Amino acid sequence: MNTNEQPQYEGAKSEVERKTLDQRSQMDELSRLRHSCAHILATAVLRLWPDALLDIGPPTDDGFYYDFELTHRFSPDDFARIEEEMRKITKENQVFEKSIKTRDEARAYFESKGQKFKLERLGDIPEGEAISFYQNGEFVDLCAGPHVMRTGNVKPGGIKLLRVASAYFRGNEKNPQLQRIYGTAFKNKEDLENWVKLQEEAKKRDHRRIGAEMGLFAFDAEYVGPGLALWLPKGGVLVEELEKLAKETEFQAGYVRVRTPHLAKEKMYRTSGHLPYYAESMFPPMEMLEEDERKKREQLLEKRADLLKLAESLGNAISPNPAGMTPESIQEEVNRIETEAGFLGGRYYLKAMNCPHHHRIFAAEPRSYRDLPLRLAEYGTCYRYEQSGELFGLMRVRAMNMNDAHIYCTAEQFADEFRAVNEMYLKYFKIFGLDRYQMRFSTHDPARLGQKFVNEPELWKQTEDMVRRVLIESGINYVEVPNEAAFYGPKIDVQVWSAIGREFTIATNQVDFAVPARFGLTYRDRDNTDKTPLCIHRAPLGTHERFIGFLIEHYAGNFPLWLAPEQVRVLTLGEKEPLVNYAKGIVQELRSQFVRVEGDFGTNPIKAKIADAEKARVHTMLVIGGRDLEAGHVSVRLHSKGPQGARPRDEVIAGILADIRERRA
RNA sequence: GCCAGCUUAGCUCAGCGGUAGAGCAACGGUUUUGUAAACCGUGGGUCGUCGGUUCAAUCCCGACAGCUGGCUCCA
């Protein structure tokens, strides 16, 4: 996998903003209600803070929001007042009245109100499209609709404001930040209450919470650093089990394993093209330059600064250009200098991706077409300096272990390799009982060839056709997203939804027909010429951090036997010696078979021991009392499933071993 | 990085301008038990850090850090 394992949060950047009038009119009933609720919110805010400037207020997947600019800073303490005003408005039962205005009328209206954001939004409406307004009571808004008939259609008990947030105007961080109020609305109070309950249930599944409860991982911002996860012993088990699964699967699929260091010289990332574009996301370099190299570098950087100054003056057309340089030729020279400086030894970067190292492994030996496909796999550790506000539990971290591999192949081999990768995904998803996922197929935009996308129209077409065919043949449900491909080729991201409704990219599968060439990778073909291989980046299990974060929520911490940090606990009724000896024998036998088993042989009442084991989410509890000892039985109890009855000891042990071996759910 | 909120015992939380509390957990005893919690006791805190206001600050103010919710970013 290259660099795109991180999430693609859509957040509240509502699709609604981009929807056409026609799509909007088809909005379902609930969205319509919520949209009206956003207007009611704005009505209330204007009553309480008449100087508020309005932006927009669309419905979202589970509610609505409205963006405001005002000097008062909203805080949750304001919600009671605002909600009260909103309820009042619903009781006033105002009619939502639609009207069409001309562009001039609309402009005049917003100018008179000083609503500068609305004026800008007005400019977005294409010439010829109707400019519609909705009015309820004293509140008038530029709005395509649709709405409910009257504010009274919104039940006062069905409204709830949720949180204040901020959002850049038009989602651009150069624009002013507006204050956003999120809320939700339902047909009635009961629906709302059910939703609130569901939210609370979902919170209990949050991987951060369960991770702490179960002792899976920890963060130590003070001594280790933010976004740098520590795997505790029980979380380490999850890591080990996933790696074991990956290693077995990849071995059987013909992968070979490699190991690479966690850093590399600047030259590596100059060559790959990741620097300077990706530098922001990388930890700053470590400088180990020799004295003469340092001087050389300083000279180069001075020269570069001079050139940039020159470029600026050219842009301003202040001074004539003495050297006859164009902005393009200056840029070229700047690039050359940066490359030269970067090629000096002694500046090291922590790697943000594994592909360059793997490319150098490809380059380490002469390659023949007979060596292809070459599948290099590694659980590679990558470091990315994600912005502080983007860190999020295990899901978005600064150090991560990727289930990475790079497959080098010929164009003829590509389809089979790509199909095999896809099948591996599906195999994994089956193991984890993952049935809600969506493959997102990102393609290029021909208009941006040579800019955002490498200028290889034929290869783009070929690979995209091939990927599309594989998806269709495999009967996979996918969406195609133009203009979202990586610069070096099309890709498939796997979107999953965690139990708490969060969507993110958990795995990625990318085609790369550009970067191997930058590293001069070649193989000797049948015809005795050197050719550049295609490369597939793939990471079906994403990173340990995110994948385990996802699994924690997916299973709500109730892992299947093969994954469970503590698989079995043997509980005795009391600590009488024959009983304990019998129990110890079972523990020993299981442990000798590498089962993660513990014993609880103390004097506590069995109820207490069971409560402890249940709380710890031990998968299988083996309860042993006098009756079991006599019959040579054990009584099985499964976590969250209760007692399963007594069965012969050897049969139970064999069953446990089989379930683990088969990785049964 | 930006806006807002939060930070009190290992965890969940209460509290207040006059030097801090509960439940669970931990620890020490007692309890010999049939499927989610037996009883008694003990310890545990620089109230995130630094600075300011005050006779006095965990509480008020400021800065910083971390976390959370968003936004931005994720080539």
Span A516-546, pLDDT tens digits: 999 999 999 999 999 999 999 999 999 999 9
Q: pLDDT tens for residues A241-267?
A: 999 999 999 999 999 999 999 999 988
Q: List beta partners, residue A537.
A: A406, A510
pLDDT attached to residue A5: 34
For the segment A208-225, the average pLDDT, to the nearest whole number, is 88
CB count in 10 Å sphere of residue A353: 25
pLDDT attached to residue A500: 58
CB of A446 nearer than 7 A to strand B: no
For the segment A460-466, the average pLDDT, to the nearest whole number, is 89
| pLDDT over 80 at A320, yes or no | no
**What ipTM score was computed for the predicted complex, to two decimals?**
0.91
Q: pLDDT tens for residues A146-162?
A: 888 888 888 888 888 88
Q: pLDDT tens for residues A91-144?
A: 998 888 888 888 888 888 888 888 888 888 888 888 877 888 888 888 888 888
CA at A76, C1' at B47: how many angstroms apart?
24
Identify nearest nucleotide to residue A487 by CA to C1′ distance.
B75
- Greatest alpha-carbon pair distance for chain A in Å reads 102
- A513 vs A479: CA distance, rounded Å: 23
CB of A274 nearer than 7 A to strand B: yes
CA distance readout (Å), A561 to A17, A168, A426, A584:
46, 46, 21, 21
For the segment A278-292, the average pLDDT, to the nearest whole number, is 84
Q: Is the peptide bond before A156 cis (omega within 30 degrees of 0)?
A: no
- Which one has a higher pLDDT value, A426 or A76? A426
For the segment A501-518, the average pLDDT, to the nearest whole number, is 85
List of A residues 408-437 with CB within 7 A of strand B: none
CA at A377, C1' at B69: how many angstroms apart?
38
| pLDDT over 60 at A9, yes or no | no
For the segment A425-447, the average pLDDT, to the nearest whole number, is 88
Strand B nucleotides, any atom under 7 Å from protein beta carbons: they are: 1-5, 11-12, 30-38, 65-75
| pLDDT over 90 at A336, yes or no | no
For the segment A461-475, the average pLDDT, to the nearest whole number, is 88
Residues A543, A560, A437, A201, Cα dihedral to 10°: -100
pLDDT attached to residue A276: 67
Q: Is the peptide bond before A284 cis (omega within 30 degrees of 0)?
A: no
| pLDDT over 80 at A344, yes or no | no
Q: Find the distance separating the first CA and the last CA of chain A, reported in whole Å.
A: 27
* The two structure tokens encoding residue A28: 């379902």
Identify nearest nucleotide to residue A606 by CA to C1′ distance.
B33
In chain A, what percentage of residues exceed pLDDT 70? 93
List of A residues 186-215 with CB within 7 A of strand B: 208, 212
| pLDDT over 80 at A70, yes or no | yes
From A118, A117, A142, A119, select the one nearest A132 (Cα to Cα).
Answer: A142
| pLDDT over 70 at A7, yes or no | no
For the segment A590-597, the average pLDDT, to the nearest whole number, is 96
For the segment A322-329, the average pLDDT, to the nearest whole number, is 69
List of A residues 52-71 with CB within 7 A of strand B: none
Query: Which SS3 state, helix, strand or coil, does residue A132 take?
Result: strand
Nearest 5 degrees, angle CA A178-CA A184-CA A185? Answer: 135
Each as own residue / partner, the long-range contacts of residues A231-238 (CB below 8 Å, 24 or more positions apart, any chain) are: A233/A565, A234/A565, A234/A566, A235/A211, A235/A548, A235/A565, A237/A563, A237/A565, A237/A596, A238/A544, A238/A548, A238/A551, A238/A559, A238/A563, A238/A565
CB of A580 nearer than 7 A to strand B: no
DSSP H stretches of helix in A49-125:
79-92, 103-113, 116-124
- Which one has a higher pLDDT value, A199 or A529? A529
The DSSP call for residue A525 is -
Helical (H) or strand (E) element with A349: strand A347-350
Out of A196-205, A229-238, A506-515, A533-542, least confident range = A196-205
For the segment A213-241, the average pLDDT, to the nearest whole number, is 91
Identify nearest nucleotide to residue A571 by CA to C1′ distance.
B35
Identify nearest nucleotide to residue A162 by CA to C1′ distance.
B69
- A197 vs A8: CA distance, rounded Å: 27
pLDDT class for A12, splitting at 50, 70, 90?
Answer: very low
The alpha carbon of A473 is separated from its chain's Cα centroid by a whole number of angstroms, namely 27
Listed in sequence order, the residues at least 6 apart from A328 whose beta carbon sits closer than 8 Å to its beta carbon are none
- Which one has a higher pLDDT value, A4 or A190? A190
The pTM (predicted TM-score) of the whole model is: 0.88
Q: List beta partners, residue A497.
A: A503
CA distance readout (Å), A206 to A230, A553, A627, A654:
18, 6, 41, 34
pLDDT attached to residue A28: 78
Q: pLDDT tens for residues A347-393?
A: 899 999 999 999 999 999 999 999 999 999 999 999 999 988 888 88
pLDDT class for A324, splitting at 50, 70, 90?
Answer: low
Nearest 5 degrees, angle CA A514-CA A516-CA A518? Answer: 75
CB of A610 nearer than 7 A to strand B: yes
| pLDDT over 70 at A25, yes or no | no
* The two structure tokens encoding residue A87: 């309820």
CB count in 10 Å sphere of residue A179: 19
Identify nearest nucleotide to residue A275 by CA to C1′ distance.
B75
The total number of residues written for chain A in this structure: 665
List of A residues 489-528 with CB within 7 A of strand B: none
pLDDT attached to residue A24: 47
Q: What are phi and psi of A528, to 5 degrees?
A: 65, 25
- A69 vs A114: CA distance, rounded Å: 12
| pLDDT over 70 at A635, yes or no | yes
- A8 vs A5: CA distance, rounded Å: 9
pLDDT attached to residue A314: 66
Q: Which protein residue lies nearest to nucleotide B1, measured between its Cα and the C1' atom?
A: A387
CB of A276 nearer than 7 A to strand B: no
Per the CB < 8 A criterion, the answer to whether A132 and A147 are in contact is no
CB of A218 nearer than 7 A to strand B: no
pLDDT attached to residue A124: 81
| pLDDT over 50 at A32, yes or no | yes
The DSSP call for residue A603 is S
pLDDT class for A643, splitting at 50, 70, 90?
Answer: very high
